[in-house]
C-alpha cells in the first residue's frame, strides 16, 4: 500500500516560514505561514512530524480510505499581493472593532476614559459648590435688606376718621436690664488643700524694728480688726487667732509682720484677737484664752481656734494654723529648746482646737495665776476625754522665740504642780462654765482687734 500525503503548495507571491511536512526524497516541503514569524522545525522523520503544523484557513481534505484510489489533488485558490494586504487590513479592522465592543461591555477601558470621568465629576462638584455658595449669599443679603414696604406715613385726621379702627397694637416690650443676659455668679469653689501659695521654710529674724504702717501697706487685703478671707475661693476653715497679751507691744509688731502674710498664703478665713489683761494682778494666760474664745464667737461663726503666744513665730508656712480631727500642737520644735520637743506631754506655745474639742474639755482652767502649769493641765483634760495630740514633723513645726526677760507679775506659780495632779477632779468645775470677766474696751485696729478685760484676782 502506498502512502499518500497532501501538501498545500505555497502561494505564488510570498513564502512564509518553513514547517515540517512528510519526508519525500529527503527534502522538506515548505508550508506557508505568517510573515515575520518563525516556528520551530523538528528533525524530519517518517510520517507526520511531532510539531503540529499551523492550521490553514481551509481544512485539509480527508485521506482516502485503504484500497481507495486517491483523487486529483485539490488546489487552493490563488491570491495576489493586493488581496493579502486587503485581508490583513480587514483583520486589523475586525480586531479594533472587537476591542471597542469589549470596552463598551466593561471588559476594559480605552485610554483616557477614567480621566474623562474624573473631570466630569469634578466639574459637577464645583457647580454644586458654587450654587450652594450663591444661595447662602442671597439668603444672608435678604436678611440685611430693608423691608420693601415701609410703614406708610400717618394719615390725616379726616382720613383716619373714615377708616374702621383695626386691632390695637401690641404693648411695647419692657427693656431688659443690662445685666440680665449675664449668668449670675455662683459661690466660689473651695480652696485647695494644701494651698498652692505656700513657700515652705522662712527666714525669721528680729534684728530690725517693725513699723506697723509698713505692715499695713504690705497687707492691703486685711480688713479692719485683722480680718481676712480669700476672694477667689472659699476657705476650708474659719479660724480665730487668740493671743494672750500684756505689755508686749514690740513682740506684737513682729508677730503681725510675719503671721499676716503666712495666714493669707494658707488661704484661711481668719481674725486676729489680742486679749489684753488689764490691772496689776498676776498674769492668767489660760483665763485669757477662755475670754478670747467667748468674745470671738460674738463676732463671727468661727469653728477653729488657734491659741498663740505673742513671742513665737513659725519658720515654715506649711505649718498650717488650722484644726484637725485631734487637738493640734503647732510649736513642736522651738529654738528655745534646741529645736526639740521638751517632753511628750508638752502642749504649750501654739496649739489649735476646734469648737467641739474645746467645749468637750470645758475650755481651759481659770485658776492658774502666774507662769507655768496651765498647758500641762490642758493636756490632761484632752487625755481624760479620750483625745490624742497631733503634731507636724520637727522640720515643719520649727518656731523661733523672741528673747525677753520674765515679765513683771508673771512669776512661776508655786501651786501649779498640785493643780496639775488634780485635773480630773477640777476640770468639770473649772473652765468655760465658771468663767467670769469684764470687758473694759474693744478697739479695732487695721491689723488686729484688741479686747482689754478685767479677769479679777486670784482667790486667797
> Where do the structural domains in the chain lie, given as residue ranges?
221-454
Q: Give the model's pLDDT for residue 394.
A: 94
User: Poorest-confidence range of 167-176, 239-248, 376-385?
Assistant: 167-176
CA–CA separation, 317 and 266 (whole Å): 7
Q: Which residues are catalytic?
A: 309, 311, 371, 374-375, 401, 404, 406
pLDDT of residue 62: 54
Q: How confident is the model at residue 61 (pLDDT cuts 50, 70, 90)?
A: low
pLDDT confidence of residue 51: 43
CATH superfamily label, 221-454: Spore Coat Polysaccharide Biosynthesis Protein SpsA; Chain A (3.90.550.10)
pLDDT over 60 (residue 191)? yes
Question: Residue 33: its pLDDT value, please?
Answer: 46
Sign of the C-alpha dihedral, residues 301, 317, 360, 192? Answer: positive
Proportion of the chain above pLDDT 70, given as a percent:
65
Would you state the pLDDT for residue 97? Answer: 73
Distance CA 332, CA 322 (A): 15
- Region of poorest pLDDT, from 148-152, 179-183, 229-233: 148-152
- The grid coordinates of residue 63 equal 485521506
Alpha-carbon gap, residue 32 to 21, rounded angstroms: 11
Tell me what pLDDT residue 302 has. 98
pLDDT at 436 over 80: yes
Task: Give the model's pLDDT for residue 244.
Answer: 98
Give the pairing type, strands 238-245 and 304-308: parallel
Provide the percentage of residues in the chain whose pLDDT is more than 90. Answer: 54
* Res 53 pLDDT > 50: no
Torsion sign over Cα 374, 376, 377, 379: positive
Residue from 427, 350, 359, 452 nearest 392 by CA: 350
Strands (E), 371-454: 398-401, 438-444, 449-454
pLDDT digits (tens, 9 = 90+) for 111-134: 567 778 888 888 888 888 888 888
pLDDT classification of 156: cutoffs 50, 70, 90: very low
Q: What is the pLDDT of residues 306-328, one digit of tens each?
A: 999 999 999 999 999 999 999 99
More confident position, 10 or 229 = 229
DSSP element (H, E) containing 276 = strand 269-277
Give the model's pLDDT for residue 106: 52
pLDDT, residue 1, reads 44
pLDDT of residue 117: 81
Place 214 in a pLDDT band, splitting at 50, 70 and 90: very high
Say if residue 265 is exposed, middle or buried (CB neighbours under 10 Å; 0-12, 13-18, 19+).
middle
Own/partner pairs for 291-295, CB < 8 Å, 24+ apart?
Answer: 291/435, 291/437, 291/451, 291/453, 291/455, 292/240, 292/242, 292/243, 292/244, 292/451, 293/240, 293/242, 293/358, 293/363, 293/432, 294/432, 294/435, 295/439, 295/442, 295/451
Instruction: Please report which residue ranges of 241-339 form alpha helices under DSSP H.
Output: 249-265, 285-299
What letters, b where the CB count within 10 A reaches 16 and e where it falls short, cover 15-32? ebbebbbbeeeeeebbbb
Cell of 277: 489683761
Average pLDDT value for the chain: 79
User: Are 269 and 436 contacting, i.e. CB atoms less than 8 angstroms apart?
Assistant: no
Top mean-pLDDT range of 86-100, 134-148, 319-333:
319-333
Asked whether residue 101 carries a pLDDT value surpassing 80, the answer given is no
Q: Which residue has better confidence, 278 or 172? A: 278
| Model pTM score | 0.61
| DSSP per residue, 41-106 | -PPP-SSS-SSPPPPPSSPPPPPPPTTPPP-PPPPPPP--HHHHHHHHHHHHHHHHHHHHHHHHTT
Question: Which position has the higher pLDDT, 418 or 60?
Answer: 418
Report, as an integer, the average pLDDT of 272-289.
95
Mean pLDDT across 382-406: 93
More confident residue, 151 or 422: 422
**Which backbone phi and psi does 140 adopt, to 5 degrees?**
-70, -40
Amino acid at each position: 500500500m502506498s502512502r499518500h500525503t497532501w501538501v498545500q503548495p505555497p502561494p505564488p507571491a510570498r513564502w512564509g516560514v518553513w514547517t515540517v511536512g512528510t519526508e519525500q526524497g529527503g527534502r522538506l516541503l515548505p508550508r506557508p505561514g505568517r510573515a515575520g514569524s518563525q516556528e520551530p522545525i523538528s528533525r524530519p522523520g517518517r510520517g507526520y512530524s511531532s510539531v503540529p503544523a499551523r492550521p490553514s484557513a481551509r481544512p485539509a481534505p480527508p485521506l482516502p480510505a485503504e484500497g481507495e484510489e486517491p483523487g486529483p489533488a485539490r488546489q487552493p485558490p490563488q491570491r495576489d499581493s493586493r488581496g493579502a494586504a486587503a485581508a490583513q487590513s480587514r483583520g486589523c479592522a475586525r480586531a479594533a472593532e472587537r476591542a471597542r465592543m469589549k470596552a463598551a461591555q466593561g471588559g476594559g477601558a480605552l485610554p483616557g476614559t477614567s480621566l474623562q470621568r474624573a473631570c466630569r465629576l469634578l466639574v459637577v462638584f464645583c457647580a454644586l459648590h458654587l450654587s450652594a455658595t450663591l444661595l447662602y449669599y442671597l439668603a444672608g443679603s435678604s436678611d440685611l435688606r430693608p423691608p420693601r414696604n415701609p410703614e406708610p406715613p400717618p394719615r390725616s385726621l379726616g382720613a383716619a376718621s373714615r377708616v374702621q379702627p383695626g386691632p390695637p397694637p401690641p404693648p411695647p416690650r419692657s427693656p431688659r436690664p443690662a445685666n440680665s443676659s449675664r449668668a449670675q455668679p455662683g459661690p466660689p469653689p473651695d480652696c485647695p488643700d494644701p494651698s498652692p501659695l505656700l513657700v515652705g521654710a522662712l527666714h525669721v529674724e528680729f534684728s530690725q524694728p517693725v513699723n506697723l504702717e509698713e505692715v499695713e501697706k504690705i497687707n492691703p487685703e486685711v480688713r479692719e480688726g485683722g480680718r481676712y478671707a480669700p476672694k477667689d475661693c472659699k476657705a476650708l476653715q474659719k479660724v480665730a487667732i487668740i493671743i494672750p497679751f500684756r505689755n508686749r507691744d514690740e513682740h506684737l509688731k513682729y508677730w503681725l509682720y510675719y503671721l499676716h502674710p503666712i495666714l493669707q498664703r494658707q488661704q484661711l478665713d481668719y481674725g486676729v484677737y489680742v486679749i489684753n489683761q488689764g490691772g496689776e494682778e498676776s498674769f492668767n494666760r489660760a483665763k485669757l484664752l477662755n475670754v478670747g474664745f467667748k468674745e470671738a464667737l460674738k463676732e463671727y461663726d468661727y469653728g477653729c481656734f488657734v491659741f498663740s503666744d505673742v513671742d513665737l513665730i513659725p519658720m515654715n508656712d506649711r505649718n498650717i494654723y488650722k484644726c484637725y480631727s485631734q487637738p493640734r500642737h503647732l510649736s513642736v520644735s522651738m529654738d528655745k529648746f534646741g529645736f526639740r520637743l521638751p517632753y511628750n506631754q508638752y502642749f504649750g506655745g501654739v496649739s489649735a482646737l476646734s469648737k467641739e474639742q474645746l467645749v468637750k474639755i470645758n475650755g481651759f482652767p481659770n485658776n492658774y495665776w502666774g507662769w507655768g502649769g496651765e498647758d500641762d493641765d490642758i493636756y490632761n483634760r484632752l487625755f481624760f476625754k479620750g483625745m490624742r495630740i497631733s503634731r507636724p514633723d520637727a522640720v515643719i513645726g520649727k518656731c523661733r522665740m523672741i528673747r525677753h526677760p520674765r515679765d513683771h507679775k508673771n512669776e512661776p506659780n508655786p501651786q501649779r504642780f498640785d493643780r496639775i495632779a488634780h485635773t480630773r477632779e477640777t476640770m468639770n468645775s473649772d473652765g468655760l462654765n465658771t468663767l467670769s470677766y469684764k470687758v473694759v474696751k474693744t478697739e479695732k485696729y487695721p491689723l488686729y482687734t484688741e479686747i482689754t478685760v478685767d479677769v479679777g484676782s486670784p482667790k486667797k
